[in-house]
Structure 1
């Protein structure tokens, strides 16, 4: 049957009777009501959660703008995964275009026509509409096809896990049927109306119509099939709308909400424990302890497995999968609400619990999972709450308990007396200033490992020499310095952390200085992002030593010209300096300033692989297939462009130095590569320059002098 029309348009309910239209609107209304009720029910659950520790709805317009940029640009999907980024962009933009197109059609049919008696769905508008819908809808089908190929043909490992189920299959195949089915319906309509000239703008549907005609289908057959196809497509689409709030498709809403309400310092700072909370209530004691944002986290998870694929604990064979932890909490909550399970411990060492303690002990607090997550799930806040529960119930490992007791009694994890903290200064031929007795520009927080660990004392001495050489006004706290508390907090010992903050802050407040400089990125992070949360007067500028020394190099005060040494080196980005606080360039500029050739590892900057020491890893005894430090050293020697030519593995964190020195031994790399801190590398470059000067003028002096 040919429909004669004076200008480009199409009949929306072609072959559908008036009764059919009424039935369609009744079903559509029902689907929308079911959808709205489901969304209301899901969001009403969040009101049952505890109040969150941080403000989540301040500057709402700004938050929405940021979330829109993150979501619609697909920037996080492209990170580490070009294929996945393109795939998701096609699906998202195509889906949104189809949704907007359907909304436009609704406005024309059910609002504009009823108000004016006219339609704007014709002429140039219709042609533009049809072209855009066909083009973006085609990208949608391609994107869904890419997802099906990756999931079922390639069988991408990270997409499969214990929480993968039929709803995942139903979701992706429903999207494909809706996308591809739309073109089938369009092709039947174009063939059934005998190829109107203007329908060439619907190029995909037009091509499908040509295929049908070539296969021998007549316009009459196309018209008959169109009715059945239209209703099938409509019922699937309306069913999908009603289904959204009750299963995986809800992530389309919850994910955006999660990005809107994200904490910009998530992981860098952790939620505190309310003052009125008793020991029996600290941490996750039951599912009711989750804040509304933490519940939203569990709903926002898309099961994409990006967090799992970058987790160093999982890669090392430890029993941690960040995705499973979040989804285990969600499953338990839903089973509890539905009466499918009885209440059990959220986390425990053995026995029946949602999460086993070994899973939490495996976490390195490296924040790789959070960096990779495209929907801003704050894994570390959940992990810390569970660690707090383990700590309060005495279920942490004995070495961790010993370290906590040492810190409590002596202010350091080694258990050495506080008076021995400044012993590292004795081998210097100059006196390190005491910031408690004189005004300085930089108060240097040295840290535990540079103070007590013999290997890292070399780092402290090297940095002291650099400060002395360049005339920096600096001083240290001597025995008044205590453990910074960063990892104490991350293993769950919040009370001890608070005590350390108070003691360190009091000691620092008593000094006269302008800025704080830290040897350890862990100290740098907690001073910068967490101490001010507990002590509003702790508002000092805080720097990592590489930032300070890099400014000294730039100003010419260090005296390097970039020709001093000719090693080939690689650099490891410490989690707390790089991924936590976005400092990537200062350490690299310092390496280049020595003359060394820098060969980047494949996993660098925000994609850096953790050394294994964070989150209390230095204090734990863990079973693992390959230590993270061993894997990282293998990567340095085998996967960098320079390969085995890499001579030195450069670090900027005492904890990293400790872990990699251990990895050299256990991984049998002692003859292959040397671990060296940037401060040590700089001193070596200065000594090399001084040595060259000695050879030329015969002066018997060294940089160490």
Structure 2
């Protein structure tokens, strides 16, 4: 009867409440209203919780339209989900766009039924070509949704992807994915039963998945009358599951659909590289979080935005080496603690402390290398490093700093360097050069060279400093150093939580810079480069835009032909390690590579390179601490160079561009038993070898010509 009437009228559409009585229709609207009210109340409660947090020191809502648009682009493209995991990126794209399409389609249907037709009295537009196009798109995108959720279930339960499981994995995680699956499949079952029950009108072939489902039902013996009789029960089961899902959104894992987007809107692009300054009037008790309300509203939002995906955990070098840090667990421990307090299921304890009943143990925070791999991998831009640093500040202010770190900090306070050597010895590395390094305090220079602690005091890195000085001399660069007036840059001092000392050395260095006449600052160490570029302006430094890492300066010299290299001087096979503070922190990946290639070597990339680079283990105070580690990060990285690169054991040199990396990898080469397998070389040393090789070739050519 139904299909015959449609054929007579020539109108393609479908009855929305087919076989549902008017009482049932009214009940559905009532339940939908209740579900939406529960949803709105839950969302209100969530955001009311954020309002209890402290004020965030970073401007989070400036240019709100631009932020919303940028966040929408990140969500729409799924670009963060594709990083390091193509299958997960495709899976999430299918789920996201399938879900959004189904949501939009349902909204269009509601507008037609409840506003356009009933409220405005207009004829339905849910007919003809519009209906056919609608049905085709909904079936196609719904299929992608089901496929995406199916892959998610496969990865979670069949292959058991390790990063999806952890101490916070619970029933709600599986329930969330299964609910999505049953919503998607249930929609097609409902559609197939309706198509079969209405006599399979020809135009419904555009609903190709629903049509196939009807074929399956018919094949197993379901008749038109059976489908008609079963439809109300199937429709209600699907509708109730959908309404229950809507109502549950603010109270369980589905809330990440809202909190994650809000987190992207309010993100700070410089988070981690630029840490917030402690308010000048803050007392020691107010520095770092002591209770949950001490976290800012954005940090509380961070906790709720976590989807438990484990991407941060899977890239964390501290976790990989067996240190007691799992970035995901820290974020979720804080969230669980807050929720337990709100539910009255737990008494208040310290947020972070050395032992005891604190939420986070001090050793966990000490384990962080501040490499920012967790933040780079996080698809919803949780700012782990900022929160970890603030907890380190609490440990520092409460006198619970790691003893080795405390010794390094005291050396900086007393001597201006982490080695504890007199400042008069800082320029001793220059004495082995056969030329004098200019004093930037006495003459105007183009480049004020900030040498740094390790190139000044560490014997291995002093060779790097001398190599860079030779490069500058070869190219005729106008440069000079501060000699004994230079102090520790403070980058890692700040990241272990010693904010007061960081402010002191920053102000002293800025004053030393002001006493000199220069155009630009060049840094040997990426850590110095980062803090001068991103943080010193908090204390009055006005030349942050004129700070460069040495590889950026040398790249310009190479490109300008100032070093006279032909690109054929050396023939080694090398691999290059991206330093966290140069690459992931500041996005400089190409300058070091251009300089390396200019020497003539063959550059074989590490599997984990550029923003995916694996930390050496020295950042965040790691250089000063001793840990029980099952394979140090430096050992793992050298193993990767020798076993996982294309050249494998054919790699002659492990090239670095950071003094801390040099120190960590020289140590890892020894402790890992790689001393006879590979050499650790700084880019400057590679350059000097190329320059020397060029000179040797020139001398040989001159001698040969004279003989002729």
- Quote the offset at 1:214 in angstroms: 1.2
> For the structure 1 residues 157 and 539, does the alpha-carbon distance in structure 2 shift closer, same or farther, using more than 3 Å as the test?
closer
Pick aligned residue for 1:211 from 197, 208, 216: 216
Partner of 1:18: 22
Deviation, structure 1 residue 515: 0.8
Is the 2:510–2:541 Cα contact (8 Å) retained in structure 1?
Answer: no
Which residue number corresponds to residue 69 of structure 1?
73
Residue 81 (structure 1) aligns with: 85
Q: 1:697: Cα distance to partner? A: 2.4
The residue that corresponds to 1:703 in the other structure is none
Quote how far apart the aligned CAs of 1:117 are: 2.9
Measure, in 1, the Cα distance between the counterparts of 2:179 and 2:545. Answer: 55
Instruction: Summarize deviations over 1:603-639 as a string: whole Å, max 9, x none.
Output: 0001000000000000111111000000000000000
Match of 2:125 among 114, 120, 124: 120
State the 1:538 CA deviation.
Answer: 4.3
CA distance in 2, matches of 1:508, 1:592: 33
Q: Does 1:58 align with 2:34?
A: no
Q: Tell me, yes or no, if the aligned pair for 1:516 and 1:540 is still in contact at 8 Å.
A: no
State the shift of 1:45 in Å.
1.1
8 Å CA contact retained: 1:2, 1:192: no
CA–CA separation in structure 2 for the residues paired with 1:116 and 1:531: 65
2:583 & 2:84 partners in 1: Cα distance? 16
Matched position secondary structure for 2:518: coil
Q: Does residue 343 of structure 2 align to residue 338 of structure 1?
A: yes
Return the offset for 1:210: 0.8
Aligned counterpart in structure 1 of residue 607 of structure 2, from 593, 597, 602: 602
> Please, which of 21, 42, 60 is the counterpart of residue 46 of structure 2?
42
Equivalent residue number for residue 408 of structure 1: 413
In 1, Cα distance between the equivalents of 2:28 and 2:437? 82
Worse-superposed segment, 353-362 or 635-644: 353-362
Distance 1:538 1:245 in 2: 46
Kept in 1: contact 2:534–2:544 (CA 8 A)? no
User: In the aligned structure 2, how far is the partner of 1:536 from the partner of 1:665?
Assistant: 41
Give 2:329's match in structure 1, choosing from 313, 324, 329: 324
Q: CA separation in 2, counterparts of 1:690 and 1:261? A: 55
**3-state DSSP class of the match of 1:345?**
coil
Please list every run of 5 or more consecutive structure 2 residues that lacks an aligned counterpart in the other structure: none
Size of the aligned set, in residue pairs, is 699
Over residues 91-116 of structure 1, what are the superposed CA-to-partner deviations in whole Å (9 max), with x where a residue is unaligned? 00000000000000000000011213
Q: Does the CA contact (< 8 Å) of 1:94 and 1:138 recur in 2?
A: yes
The alignment partner of 2:268 has SS state of coil
Counterpart secondary structure, 1:179: helix
- Corresponding residue number in structure 1 for 2:2: 2
Aligned residue for 1:254?
Answer: 259
8 Å contact from structure 1 (residues 178, 236) kept in 2: yes
- Which residue of 1 is the match for residue 392 of structure 2? 387
1:570-585 alignment runs, 5 A limit: 570-585=575-590
Q: Is the counterpart of residue 288 in structure 1 residue 298 in structure 2?
A: no
SS in structure 2 of the partner of residue 116 of structure 1 = coil
1:105 aligns with 2:109: yes
1:226 aligned residue = 231
Following the alignment from structure 1 to structure 2, what is the Cα–Cα distance between the partners of residues 508 and 113? 73
Match of 1:548 in 2: 553
How far residue 533 of structure 1 moved from its aligned partner, in angstroms, is 2.2
- Which residue does 2:665 correspond to in 1? 660
Out of 29, 33, 45, which is 1:29 matched to?
33
Distance 2:248 2:257 in 1: 12
* 1:536–1:560 distance in 2 versus 1, CA, 3 Å: closer
Which residue does 2:653 correspond to in 1? 648
Question: How far did 1:698 drift?
Answer: 4.0
Q: Where in structure 1 do 4 or more consecutive aligned residues deviate above 6 Å? A: none
**Is 1:91–2:95 an aligned residue pair?**
yes
- Could you tell me how far 1:695 is from its partner in structure 2? 2.4
CA–CA separation in structure 2 for the residues paired with 1:540 and 1:375: 29
Among residues 287, 295, 304, which one is paired with 1:299 in the alignment?
Answer: 304
Q: Is the 8 A contact 1:531 1:538 kept in 2?
A: no
Q: CA deviation at 1:473?
A: 0.9
Is 1:169 the equivalent of 2:174? Answer: yes
| 2:651 is aligned with 1:631 | no
Give the alignment's TM-score, normalised by structure 2.
Answer: 0.98
Q: Does the aligned pair in 2 maintain the 1:514–1:540 contact within 8 Å?
A: no
Matched, 1:517 2:522: yes
- Structure 2 equivalent of residue 441 of structure 1: 446
Aligned with 1:427 (options 432, 445, 468): 432
State how far apart, in whole Å, the 2-side matches of 1:637 and 1:529 are: 35
Question: Residues 505 and 538 of structure 1 are in contact (CA less than 8 Å); yes or no, is this contact kept in structure 2?
Answer: no
Q: CA deviation at 1:225?
A: 1.0
Instruction: Measure the CA separation in 2 of the matches of 1:603 and 1:540.
Output: 29
Asked if the contact 1:562/1:592 (under 8 Å) is kept, the reply is yes
In structure 2, distance between residues paired with 1:641 and 1:162 = 37
In 1, Cα distance between equivalents of 2:28 and 2:682: 70
Residue 540 of structure 1, CA deviation: 4.4
For residues 241-290 of structure 1, the C-alpha deviation after alignment (integer angstroms, 9 at most, x for no partner) is 00000110000000000001000101101111111111122111111110
